[in-house]
Each structure stands twice: as structure tokens, then as C-alpha cells.
């Protein structure tokens, strides 16, 4: 069953750019860390949805590769709770003027991943996404998204992990609004409305 799911994901991801039923549910800003400049660079990430099959994806991209991590609807619910916990801690840390670096409890989500390295696609199972709280100072506290490193199922010399993402409070608030039930419902309604319009012109 796992092999079938991985094969399906590879096919779905390779066809994703032309799939009429793939919806970008949310794209949000973030930062990645430039080790050479020792500074944060602008970046982004997305949540995608395959409407026909009911599959969500966490999409991360950098200059080397792109990864699509399969996540479930319950993982979306978990993400919402993780964001709420971050916001609770952020308010407390600002109020108390303290700094903290700590994993957010019960926030890890995992699923199969399909990733592109160069011109080729690879797959691996059980990539885990970790969420933590990181204080840059007493007034700037970030949500950090990281992952483990997984090895390609077909080439042991190829592995993948997402590039660590850092979100400031304003970016987290955009994330919260963008993956709310209301936002997802609107995205799906708009998608169906557009399909109806498109069907008139065939």
C-alpha cells in the first residue's frame, strides 16, 4: 500500500503543474537563513490541495529542489492548533520580556514526500515537519518550521530535507488566516465557480 501511495504521489506531482484540479490553498512569506551572509533571506511556502483526490501538500522550494509533503486534513487541524500555541507563547514572551527556544508540543506532522532534485524526481516516506518557537530578542519571536532528512527510495546518494523556514508574527498571522476553515471554503467555492465559468466556453 505504501509503495502504491508513493507511486501515485510521484505521478500526481509530476503532472501537478498541468492538473486542473490542483489548487493552491495558501502561499505565505517566510525567511530562510543565509549562512554566508549570516542573515535572513525572503522565502515562501505553500499549501496545495488536489481537489479530485482530497490530498493536501506542504510545498517547500529552494534554489536546489522542490518538495511536496503529503499531509492529511487532520494535519491541517494540527497546524491551526500549532499556530494558536505559537501566538499564545508569543504574547506571553512579549509581556514577560523573555526569550525562549522550544519545540511546540504535539505539533509534528509527517507524510510521504516527493521531491525534485535537478531535473529528476525522487520519493521517500515519513518526512517529518517540526515546529518550534524561537526568540530573536525579547520582542521578536518566530515560528520555525524544520524537518528531518530522508533518503530517496531509489538512490541512497540523494536525500532531502526542507530548508528551515522562519516566520515572524505578522507572517504567522497570514498563515493563520490563510489556512482557516473559512479561507479554505472560499478557495474551494471560487474554484468550483471558475470551473462552471470555464465549462460555458468549450
Q: For 104-137, write each residue's pLDDT tens digit.
A: 999 999 999 999 988 899 999 889 999 999 999 9
SS (H, E, C) 12-25: HHHCHHHCCCEEEE
Task: State how many domains the chain has.
Answer: 1
| Inside any domain, residue 126 | yes
> Residue 19: pLDDT band by 50, 70, 90 thresholds?
low
| Inside any domain, residue 201 | no
| Inside any domain, residue 202 | no
Task: Judge whether 108 and 130 are in contact, CB under 8 Å.
Answer: yes
From CA 9, how far away is CA 50, in angstroms rounded? Answer: 11
From CA 129, how far away is CA 81, in angstroms rounded? Answer: 15
User: Residue 173 belongs to what domain range?
Assistant: 2-196
Report the pLDDT value the prediction gives residue 202, as an integer from 0 to 100.
73
Alpha carbons within 13 angstroms on the beta-carbon side of residue 137 total 1
How large a percentage of the chain has pLDDT more than 90? 68
Amino acid at each position: 500500500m505504501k509503495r502504491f501511495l508513493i507511486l501515485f504521489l510521484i505521478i500526481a506531482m509530476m503532472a501537478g503543474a498541468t492538473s486542473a484540479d490542483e489548487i493552491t490553498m495558501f502561499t505565505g512569506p517566510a525567511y530562510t537563513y543565509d549562512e554566508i551572509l549570516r542573515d535572513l533571506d525572503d522565502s515562501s511556502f505553500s499549501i496545495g490541495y488536489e481537489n479530485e483526490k482530497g490530498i493536501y501538500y506542504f510545498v517547500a522550494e529552494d534554489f536546489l529542489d522542490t518538495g511536496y509533503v503529503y499531509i492529511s486534513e487532520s494535519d491541517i487541524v494540527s497546524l491551526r492548533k500549532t499556530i494558536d500555541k505559537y501566538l499564545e507563547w508569543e504574547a506571553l514572551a512579549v509581556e514577560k520580556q523573555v526569550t525562549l527556544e522550544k519545540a511546540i508540543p504535539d505539533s509534528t506532522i509527517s507524510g510521504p514526500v516527493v521531491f525534485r532534485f535537478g531535473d529528476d524526481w525522487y520519493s521517500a516516506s515519513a518526512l517529518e515537519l517540526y515546529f518550534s518557537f524561537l526568540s530573536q530578542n525579547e520582542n521578536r519571536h518566530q515560528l520555525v518550521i524544520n524537518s528531518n532528512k530522508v533518503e530517496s527510495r531509489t538512490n541512497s546518494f540523494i536525500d532531502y530535507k526542507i530548508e528551515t523556514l522562519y516566520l515572524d508574527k505578522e507572517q504567522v498571522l497570514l498563515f493563520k488566516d490563510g489556512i482557516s476553515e473559512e479561507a479554505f471554503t472560499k478557495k474551494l467555492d471560487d474554484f468550483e465557480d471558475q470551473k462552471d465559468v470555464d465549462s460555458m466556453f468549450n
